[in-house]
Amino acid sequence: MRIAVCRPQVPFARGGAEIFTDDLVAELRERGHEADLVTVPFKWYPGERVLTQAFLWRLLDLEEAEGRRIDVVVATKFPSYCIRHPRKVVWLLHQFRQAYELDRTALGQFGESAQDRALRRAVQRLDGVALGEARKVFATSANVAERLERSTGIAAEVMPHPPQELAYRCEEYGDFVLSVGRLDRAKRIDLFIQAAVGRQLEAVIVGEGPDRERLESLANGRVRFVGRVSGSELADLYARCRAVYYAPVDEDFGMVPFEAFLAEKPVVTTTDAGGPLDVVRDRETGRVVEPTVEAISAALAIGEDEARTWGRAGKAIAERVTWDRAIDRLLAG
Amino acid sequence: MKVAYYSPLPPSTSGIADYSALLLPALSRRVEVETARRRRLRRAPQADVALYHVGNDPEEHGWIVAAARRRPGIVVLHDFVLHHLVAGLTLARGDAGAYLDALEREQGLAGRLLGYAVIDNRIPPLWETRPEAFPLVGEVLRLATGLIVHSHYVEDRARAAGFEGAIWRIPHPAWPTPEVEPGAVEGTPVFGCFGHLNESKRIPQLLTAFSRLRRTRPEASLLLVGRASRRLDNLELPEGVTREHHVSEERLWSLMAACDACISLREPTMGETSGSAIRALTLGKPLVVSDVGWFAELPQEAALKVAPDEREVDALHAALELLAGNDGLRQAMGKAARGLARGEHALEQVAERYAAALEEAAGGSAVQAAVLRDVAEAAADVGLNKTGDLARRLDEVGIGG
């Protein structure tokens, strides 16, 4: 099949969505499909730019390329699913969350003016049309599927995607707890820093992002920031850590728990983390606690035996999520 | 974003006052709302959009129509047929000319002539005999920049009447399930008919059907609860019928909770919903309704439907018999009814849809203009001035003009 995988691109940014879509294209090719990635830059501010930029996708013609039909388009996140195609399948990473559950929070975008309120509604209406016309909608987590159904009435099948390919292994349950993720406020690395410092635990933070300066100032040298690391360095950190902290606010999916599990490491998360709660279960595959410094601090103190038991239970879950199964479902029907 | 909200409110006992009392707190959590005061029209609230609840009672809604004349806005069309309202605001206030004008606007010269015949007492009042044939909704539709309706029926009729603005179809909100003890009512099963008992509620037909049911089910009882129009107040009630006139809200819920099924008939319909039927759904009571208007759109899993034709009494009797003799059916319908109340009629969901409609109405045109300007400028920059394809694509995703 000829398959176009669609993803918006925020220039100079790279995160889970980019890894996922690159992997999807590679895995499709590996299975004999002719697959390619289609990206369009996306800037969602100021004001109506969120709509005009989304609208760019509507003008694209992906029905064929160089005179040959494109059989399927797989759209992933807002606004790539605005693309028109007779066989559009959406594997939804997330909608434009500022128009939904992040509205009127510190992470929101729309103000209280009549125009801002209407702009938010226009994004919702656009979602209803663009997602409603898809042949099939998959969501990467129950959290994403629930949000979608609540906001648009559209039902999605939950289908997590495998994490990036790394040399996952478990070498030891060392003395440090690892945090992996983009350094922005929604990931709540600040809670981790405060919890780890309070307990005098060694903490290692992988990732870059706009919140780094504030977080480094908060840590005041007591936590190790290693920035962006290579795949082999990341696999090495996973292999040696005791446990992994991952507690974003109402996260869509989150590959990190799957990566941690493949390295047989338990995950510490919070009751409001969203997607990770599909697989992180308290005292089965990690810890799920209230999003407070005190609760997280207590949860980070995981003994070696517990870490091993919970990490292995997590691995059994992560190993069931394979590209073979996902691609079969994606292209069925 | 601020909304000026025009509606009858308690202590008015109208159904629309109840509706607004239910909706307002949930809506106020989403948008800033200022309720307009009936006697302070000159000091109308400053707001981004005005919302007018329009129904048929001239006492309750006359001032709201007057406000809409000063400043058009979104109209919640609780009834499509507004003949009673218009007659009450014109003829009843001594302005026969305005009534005749309204008839002529809608029906041409024939309408005006019919109006003269009414005024001269040559024919019975049209609002009593055939209001549905003369809806007189034209002025309200002209004043509306958008409509909120409760049914496909009203939406379709508004479109057929030429309304071209935005229409949002938003279900009637359901009340939270009250914690009430079922009232002590004798009989098995107990049927109930609640609300203002007027000519369109098919009370004579219901009483005939119920009498037939009593022949085979002498234990069956029927509650008739609500104020009645003069003509109906003198009806002879068959055995097994208990009559209660005006009851408190608490008593109403309690009596309804005692019912095995509720009956909500209507013909002719003015396009209205029924607060009583919604309350019955809230309590998980199976419904028997007329197969007209909004009532016909209730899912059959929760409501048995009876066409108001020459076989109406037979069909009504059969429906009562079916419900009386089948516990399993009553339970299944009750479950479906409750699901409906907690689903599409859920208050929070309804309030969210109201907020969406009001926000779109208040700022939507500015958003569209800004998007169109951006797109048109980009096209013009590269010498493209005919942007029909762009406009079509914008329309597809609801951000066109």
Residues of chain A in contact with residue B375, where contact means CB-CB under 8 angstroms, are: 52, 55
Quick check: helix, strand or coil at residue B382? Answer: coil
| Local confidence band at A191 (pLDDT 50, 70, 90 cut-offs) | very high
> How many whole angstroms separate alpha carbon B168 and alpha carbon B158?
12
Residues of chain B in contact with residue A152, where contact means CB-CB under 8 angstroms, are: none
Residue (of A252, A142, A101, A145) closest to B352 by Cα position:
A101
Q: Would you state the structure tokens that stand for residue A239, as one six-digit string?
A: 């292999």
Give A15-23's long-range contacts (Cβ < 8 A, gap of 24+).
Answer: A15/A182, A16/A93, A16/A253, A16/A254, A16/A255, A17/A76, A17/A77, A17/A93, A19/A164, A19/A255, A20/A76, A20/A93, A20/A161, A20/A164, A20/A255, A21/A76, A23/A161, A23/A162, A23/A164, A23/A165, A23/A323
| Local confidence band at B382 (pLDDT 50, 70, 90 cut-offs) | confident
B210, pLDDT greater than 90: yes
- The reply to whether A146 and A213 lie within a common domain is no
Residues of chain A in contact with residue B390, where contact means CB-CB under 8 angstroms, are: 59
Angstrom distances, CA of residue B330 to CA of B17, B304, B322, B324: 31, 11, 9, 8
Question: How close A108 comes to chain B (CA, Å)?
Answer: 15
Query: Which of A159, A187, A214 is where one domain is finished?
Result: A159
> How many whole angstroms separate alpha carbon B334 and alpha carbon B283?
8
Q: What are phi and psi of A240, to 5 degrees?
A: -110, -10
- The reply to whether A132 and A271 lie within a common domain is no
**Residue B249: Cβ within 10 Å count:** 14
- The reply to whether A42 and A132 lie within a common domain is yes
pLDDT digits (tens, 9 = 90+) for B115-133: 999 999 999 999 989 999 9
B234, pLDDT greater than 90: no
| Local confidence band at A133 (pLDDT 50, 70, 90 cut-offs) | very high
| A164 inside domain | no
Residues of chain B in contact with residue A126, where contact means CB-CB under 8 angstroms, are: 397-399
> How many whole angstroms separate alpha carbon A149 and alpha carbon A158?
12
Interchain CB contact of B344 with A (< 8 Å): no
Of all residues in chain A, the percent with pLDDT exceeding 70 is 100
| A233 inside domain | yes
> How many whole angstroms separate alpha carbon A241 and alpha carbon A238?
6
Residue A65 CB partners (closer than 8 Å, separation 6+): A2, A4
Cβ distance of B367 and A125 shorter than 8 Å: no
Residue A200 CB partners (closer than 8 Å, separation 6+): none
Query: Which of A159, A188, A208 is where one domain is finished?
Result: A159
pLDDT digits (tens, 9 = 90+) for B152-170: 999 999 999 999 999 999 9
**Residue B188: Cβ within 10 Å count:** 11
| A294 inside domain | yes
Identify the CATH assignment for B190-342 out of 3.30.70.260, 3.30.565.10, 3.40.50.2000, 3.60.21.70.
Answer: 3.40.50.2000
Quick check: helix, strand or coil at residue B358? Answer: helix
pLDDT digits (tens, 9 = 90+) for B90-103: 999 999 999 999 99
Cβ distance of B390 and A59 shorter than 8 Å: yes
pLDDT of the residue at B386: 74
Of all residues in chain B, the percent with pLDDT exceeding 70 is 99
Residue (of A167, A268, A181, A195) closest to A227 by Cα position:
A181
B380, pLDDT greater than 90: no
| Local confidence band at B375 (pLDDT 50, 70, 90 cut-offs) | confident
Q: What is the CATH number of the domain that holds A211?
A: 3.40.50.2000
**Residue A217: Cβ within 10 Å count:** 9
pLDDT digits (tens, 9 = 90+) for A105-126: 988 999 999 999 999 999 999 9
| Local confidence band at B63 (pLDDT 50, 70, 90 cut-offs) | very high
Of all residues in chain A, the percent with pLDDT exceeding 90 is 87
Task: Please name the fold of domain B2-169.
Answer: Rossmann fold (3.40.50)
Interchain CB contact of B376 with A (< 8 Å): no
Cβ distance of A114 and B356 shorter than 8 Å: no
Cα dihedral across residues B78, B83, B86, B87: positive or negative: negative
| Local confidence band at B252 (pLDDT 50, 70, 90 cut-offs) | very high
- The reply to whether A97 and A190 lie within a common domain is no
Angle, nearest 10°, between helix axes B275-282 and B15-28?
Answer: 60
Instruction: Give the closest of A112, A117, A122 to B398, CB-based.
Output: A122
> How many whole angstroms separate alpha carbon B303 and alpha carbon B284?
11
Q: Would you state the structure tokens that stand for residue A305, as one six-digit string?
A: 């035996």
B401, pLDDT greater than 60: no
- The reply to whether A213 and A306 lie within a common domain is yes
A91, pLDDT greater than 90: yes
> How many whole angstroms separate alpha carbon B33 and alpha carbon B25?
9
Q: Give the residue-averaged pLDDT of B186-203.
A: 92
Beta strands in A14-101 (DSSP E): 34-41, 64-65, 68-69, 72-77, 88-94
| Local confidence band at B41 (pLDDT 50, 70, 90 cut-offs) | low
Interface of B with A in 70-99 (CB under 8 A): none
Assess contact for A247 and A182: CB atoms under 8 A.
no
> How many whole angstroms separate alpha carbon A204 and alpha carbon A197?
11
| A169 inside domain | no
Structural domain including A260 reads 176-318
Pick the range with the lowest mean pLDDT from A292-301, B33-42, B200-209.
B33-42
Interchain CB contact of B371 with A (< 8 Å): yes
Residue (of B130, B145, B156) closest to B293 by Cα position:
B156
Angstrom distances, CA of residue B123 to CA of A64, A117, B107, B110, B369: 69, 52, 17, 14, 52
Q: Give the residue-averaged pLDDT of B356-364.
A: 96
- The reply to whether A64 and A37 lie within a common domain is yes
Q: Would you state the structure tokens that stand for residue A193, as one six-digit string?
A: 């820093």
Instruction: Give the count of domains, chain A.
Output: 2
B42, pLDDT greater than 70: no
- The reply to whether A142 and A211 lie within a common domain is no
| A127 inside domain | yes
Residue position matching structure tokens 């195609």: A85
Question: How close A134 comes to chain B (CA, Å)?
Answer: 13
pLDDT digits (tens, 9 = 90+) for A293-326: 999 999 999 999 999 999 999 999 999 999 999 9
| A331 inside domain | no
- The reply to whether A280 and A310 lie within a common domain is yes
Residue position matching structure tokens 């609780």: B78
Pick the range with the lowest mean pLDDT from B10-14, B26-30, B341-345, B384-388.
B384-388
Quick check: helix, strand or coil at residue A305? Answer: helix
Instruction: Report H helices in B201-326.
Output: 203-216, 230-233, 249-257, 275-282, 293-296, 312-324
Assess contact for B192 and B220: CB atoms under 8 A.
no
- The reply to whether A187 and A250 lie within a common domain is yes
pLDDT digits (tens, 9 = 90+) for A214-265: 999 999 889 999 999 999 999 999 999 999 999 998 888 888 999 999 999 9
Residues of chain A in contact with residue B399, where contact means CB-CB under 8 angstroms, are: 51, 55, 122, 125-126
pLDDT of the residue at B381: 85
pLDDT of the residue at B384: 80
Residue position matching structure tokens 């226009």: A122
Question: How close B166 comes to chain A (CA, Å)?
Answer: 14
Q: What are phi and psi of A267, to 5 degrees?
A: -120, 135
Q: Would you state the structure tokens that stand for residue A302, as one six-digit string?
A: 């995981």
Residue (of A114, A115, A111) closest to B3 by Cα position:
A114
Single-letter amino acid code for the residue at B125:
P
- DSSP letters, B142-178, are HHEEEEEESSHHHHHHHHHTT--SEEEE-PPPPPPPP
- The reply to whether A123 and A151 lie within a common domain is yes
Of all residues in chain B, the percent with pLDDT exceeding 90 is 83
Q: Give the residue-averaged pLDDT of B327-342.
A: 97
Residue (of B297, B319, B372) closest to B212 by Cα position:
B319
Cβ distance of A118 and B399 shorter than 8 Å: no
Interchain CB contact of B363 with A (< 8 Å): yes
> How many whole angstroms separate alpha carbon A307 and alpha carbon A311?
6
pLDDT of the residue at A25: 97
| A6 inside domain | yes
Q: How much is the ipTM here?
A: 0.84
- The reply to whether A152 and A181 lie within a common domain is no
Q: Would you state the structure tokens that stand for residue B43, as one six-digit string?
A: 């000091």
Sheet with B303-306, side-by-side order of all strands: B241-244, B221-225, B190-194, B261-264, B287-290, B303-306
Assess contact for B74 and B361: CB atoms under 8 A.
yes
Question: How close A119 comes to chain B (CA, Å)?
Answer: 6
Model pTM score: 0.86
CB contacts < 8 A (A, B): 82
pLDDT of the residue at A86: 96
Region at A314 (left for phi over 0; alpha for psi -120 to 50; beta for the rest):
alpha
Query: Which of A99, A126, A159 is where one domain is finished?
Result: A159
| Local confidence band at B377 (pLDDT 50, 70, 90 cut-offs) | confident
Residue (of A23, A28, A183, A46) closest to A93 by Cα position:
A23
Higher pLDDT, B124 or B44: B124
| Local confidence band at B89 (pLDDT 50, 70, 90 cut-offs) | very high
Burial of residue B64 (number of CB atoms within 10 Å: 0-12, 13-18, 19+): buried
Interchain CB contact of B162 with A (< 8 Å): no
Question: How close B359 comes to chain A (CA, Å)?
Answer: 5
| A209 inside domain | yes
